[in-house]
Amino acid sequence: MDALELTICPSCGSTEIKKVRRDWSGRFQDQSYTVPSLEFYECPVCGERVYDREAMRKIQEHSPAFARVHTHS
């Protein structure tokens, strides 16, 4: 069971928002990075993106912003 089921866009209220899975590109300072096959919600109306806990974790794993805090084993 998914932790988050989103049916209404929190930004514009559209019900068109849906879960997608695709390579996701982010940017941190001057570095861009990619998270392959990331699942997140995207609203086709306003472009809002919503990430659940799992998606956030994957983004953080790939982000250069968090690369240095992975000191635990």
- Positions that interact with Zn ion (CB under 5 A): 9, 11-12, 14, 43, 45-46, 48
Using the minimum distance from each CB to Zn ion, give the nearer residue, 7 or 73: 7
The strands making up 18-28's β-sheet, listed across from edge to edge, are 18-28, 31-42, 49-50
Using the minimum distance from each CB to Zn ion, give the nearer residue, 33 or 51: 51
Rounded to a whole number of angstroms, the minimum distance from the CB of residue 15 to Zn ion is 9
Using the minimum distance from each CB to Zn ion, give the nearer residue, 12 or 56: 12
The angle formed by the CA atoms of residues 48, 60 and 1, to the nearest 5 degrees, is 65
Contact 41, 18 (CB under 8 A): yes
